[in-house]
Amino acid sequence: MKFNCLIAQSGGPTAAINSTLAGIYSAACRNASIGKVYGGLNGIEGVINGRVINLGSILSEYGNLFVLKITPSSFLGSCRYKLKSCAENEDDYKKIFDIFDKYNIKYFFYIGGNDSMDTILKLKEYQDKNPHGVMLIGVPKTIDNDLMCVDHTPGFGSAAKYIATTVKEIAYDTAVYNMDSIVVVEIMGRNAGWLTLSAGLARDNSGRTLADLIYIPENPFDYDKLISDIKNVQKEKRQMVIAVSEGIRFSDGKLVAESEQKDAFGHGQLGGAAKTVSEYIKEQLGVKVRAVEINVSQRCAAHCLSLTDINESFKIGEVAVDAAAQGLSGVMVTNNRKEGNEYRLEYSYSDIASIANMEKTVPENYMNVEKNNISQDGLNYLIPLVKGEVKLLHKDGVPMYLNIKDFI
């Protein structure tokens, strides 16, 4: 007897999350034990509300699966719905498993980041007490690269490539004038500075860094040290670029900039670090300073896809189906870098309890001794993840992507 599978996406979108969706769909269609492949619209919130579609009616059409693989953002839509504990709201759990029963779902794949893995953990805990026989599989994605038990997360490589490219372009832009100037670039990263670290990939043809200073949340931010670092750089160049994580904070833990607005998971909305830092620099040094907040454009920049990222994201979707077919549940698919000079990955699975609600931060040795730029170890880690280019389909000079609204 065949059973069906359900796939949903959650959290912030990325440029590679749909490649993972394509990987799951492709592998599920090849698996003899899986019948229909369904998609849940707008994450677990959509599943609760019964918003389920048959993906076969869309992706079986010639060419759509290929286009999906290189389409940015979450094709199925997303949510930031915090699933409460069963004791607080058992109705949500009953609705979810009722949907599983209605569509004969035995395999549930949830593509997402930290909060999404928390959802898988809670569903597993509920099912442990209320057996339904559904294989609950967490599938990683996040540009933040902060999930435990993985070498890196799908979506991060493309975002890192975009950051490095953008910082390089900003550096070339600011270098045209014969005057002292500073550009402060704000990059996403609440508690982990992986994306900001990737600014260190921006190099000129001689290999010299174009991100002159880099500050991440893992290291306490200090204004006196900032000014001292700037003055040291100014001894050799007049125009400079400073990369800061949106989550940089002082030694007492207070963020340099944060709004009071909170999301469903209690996270304060970040933004404004570059502006705050640039105003301080201008006040102290009197030079021309500009603040650039890259913001959401770093999440879904498909025009700057990493081929490595897209291929690995597709592969991790295929591995997720293998995990489910083996009868695994309450796990997340993982990747680990093999030892040796050649970059290679091996895929496995880890218990969701060892991943949910935890964060992987940047190792100390990925920053230099002064904690104001990337180290060679950091470069060695990042470079393989951004390699390779993806050829997009275009119409009238603009990329073509797949849009769920064209099918529902």
Q: Tens-of-pLDDT digits for all 408 residues of the chain?
A: 799 999 999 999 999 999 999 999 999 999 999 999 999 999 999 999 999 999 999 998 889 999 999 999 999 999 999 999 999 999 999 999 999 999 999 999 999 999 999 999 999 999 999 999 999 999 999 999 999 999 999 999 999 999 999 999 999 999 998 999 999 999 999 999 999 999 999 999 999 999 999 999 999 999 999 999 999 999 999 999 999 999 999 999 999 997 555 555 555 557 799 999 999 999 999 999 999 999 999 999 999 999 999 999 999 999 999 999 999 999 999 999 999 889 999 999 999 999 999 999 999 999 999 999 999 999 999 999 999 999 999 999 999 999 999 998
Residue 353 burial (C-beta neighbours within 10 Å; 0-12, 13-18, 19+): middle
Distance of CA 140 to the CA centre of its chain: 9
Active-site option among 92, 115, 118, 144 = 144
Distances (CA, A) of 234 to 28, 122, 231, 244, 381: 57, 52, 5, 18, 29
Residue 179 burial (C-beta neighbours within 10 Å; 0-12, 13-18, 19+): exposed
Sorted by sequence, the CB contacts under 8 Å of residue 257 that are 6+ apart come out as: 246, 270, 271, 272, 273, 275, 276
H-helix segments, 255-345: 273-285, 307-325
Cα(303)–Cα(305) distance, rounded to whole angstroms?
6
Sorted by sequence, the CB contacts under 8 Å of residue 111 that are 6+ apart come out as: 7, 8, 9, 10, 17, 20, 21, 24, 139, 140, 141, 317
Examine the residue annotation and report whether 144 is marked as an active-site residue of this protein.
yes
Cα(76)–Cα(11) distance, rounded to whole angstroms?
12
